[in-house]
Homo-oligomer: A and B are copies of this chain.
Amino acid sequence: MKRLKLKWVSFGIALALVAGMAASGICQDQVREIIRIPDILGYKALKCDFHIHTVFSDGNVWPTVRPVEAWLNGLDALSITDHIEYLPHKDDLKIDFNRSFEIAQSSADGLRLTLIRGAEITRDMPPGHINAIFTTDNNALDTKEWRDAVKAAYDQGAFLFWNHPGWTGQQPDGIAKWYDEHTELVEKGWIQGIEVVNSVEYYPEVHQWCLDKKLTMFGNSDVHDPILMDYNPARGAHRPMTIVFAKDNSASAIKEALLDRRTVVYFQNWLIGEERFLDPIFAQSVEQDRTQLTLRGKGRSTIQLSNHAGLDFELALDGEVPDLSLPESLVIPAGKAVMLTVRSTTETVNETRTVELPYRVTNLKVRPNEGLPVRFKAEITFVAKKS
């Protein structure tokens, strides 16, 4: 009779805490996803979630669960950011704002995950909710005035970002608004990023703000329940995450990358970020099988496109090429290949031309409503129909 994995995990964690040992909390039969988004520009593509709750504010799981979930989901780093000001379990639970971090730490260490101390400063709009990560003592953030809380985090060396600016709980129409307080926060350097994506929401106006004001883009889960209740990998779903391009997965390298705005948001089937990151991601993911084609009369030929990444790429035609008919749209599924069919619309040309087949990757968002432009190079030999 093999002992059940379930009890093993929980008892393992419990005993490990008692004994002061590092505990991974992972059973031999638990499996970690590998998120296939390539490393680029000499950096590691770290998968991170910087907005997570536990029972120590209004979340519904014990802190040790969060690193285990992060490991299962293929993350490299996470930050537990319980509310300072919203504590619905406080009748049952003794409150210490560092406690969820402390409890989770040995679990994260055993899994080689970078656990970053953090907290959510939870105020009315403006300025709304603000996450402070890389803090050193969350209890110092429990102040009456929100500026004091933000300043306390900033003085600890924290990186702060504004959460879910379009949350209907604070903006009933779901549209983010920029207040003077946010100008103040940015000018003082107190916030350096914003969530473009929170949970199941994307805020296009925030996306544009980040581009215009040079703020770091974040996409986080803001998970309260067990993560699998919200995003089931077996059904192809993943939590929103912030891809951080960093030298390594140390806390300091991640902080340096955030300060340098080296992030891309991975949200459902989208990647949201600057072209300087999305362009090499596509280039390293998609392989074109050949560049030389012959088209006889009004015949057709194909280019095979293989996608070695873990997300689909959705292409839309982005221009015209003389004498060619190209598909209006094309999906290259994750880990699969498809044929791009090229047709000649002429029967009278005898010539070899170097062309670029113009597409936009509509799910790689370089701006709101604007996909990454890509060009497939091809040398096409037209052979006229014999008359």
> Which A residues are closer than 8 A to B by beta carbons?
1-7, 9-11, 14, 17-19, 21-22, 24, 26, 28-34, 36, 53, 55, 58-62, 64-65, 68-69, 72, 74, 88-89, 91-94, 99, 103, 110-112, 166-169, 174-175, 198-203, 221-230, 232, 234-235, 289-290, 296-297, 299-302, 304, 306, 308, 327, 330-331, 333, 335-339, 341
Contacts and interface: CB of A to CB of B under 8 A. Distances in A.
A112 B89 CA distance: 24
B11 A203 contact: no
Contact of A199 (B6, B17, B112): B6
A9 B61 contact: no
Copies in the assembly, this chain: 4
Nearest to A199: B4
Given A168-B1, A175-B1, A229-B72, A99 B110 contact: no
A10 B336 contact: no
Contacts of A10: 53, 58-60, 224-225
B68 A6 contact: no
Contacts of A30: 338-339
Nearest to A36: B335
Contacts of A199: 4-7
Contact of A234 (B235, B300, B301): B235
Which of A34, A72, A198 has most B Cβ within 10 Å?
Answer: A34
Given A6-B200, A201-B1, A201-B4, A232 B234 contact: yes
Given A58-B11, A228-B228, A232-B228, A341 B6 contact: no
Contacts of A174: 1-3
Which of A74, A174, A229, A302 has most B Cβ within 10 Å?
Answer: A229
Contacts of A290: 112
Contacts of A202: 1
B59 A1 contact: no
B327 A28 contact: yes
B28 A224 contact: no
B3 A201 contact: yes
Contact of A296 (B3, B21, B99, B112): B21
Contact of A31 (B59, B289, B296, B336): B336
Nearest to A174: B1
Given A5-B200, A31-B338, A232 B232 contact: yes
Contact of A225 (B6, B22, B223): B6
Contacts of A61: 60-62, 65, 226
Nearest to A65: B60
B17 A88 contact: yes
Given A1-B175, A226-B226, A341 B24 contact: yes
Given A28-B330, A62-B60, A64-B60, A223 B6 contact: yes
A8 to B, nearest CB: 10
Nearest to A289: B112
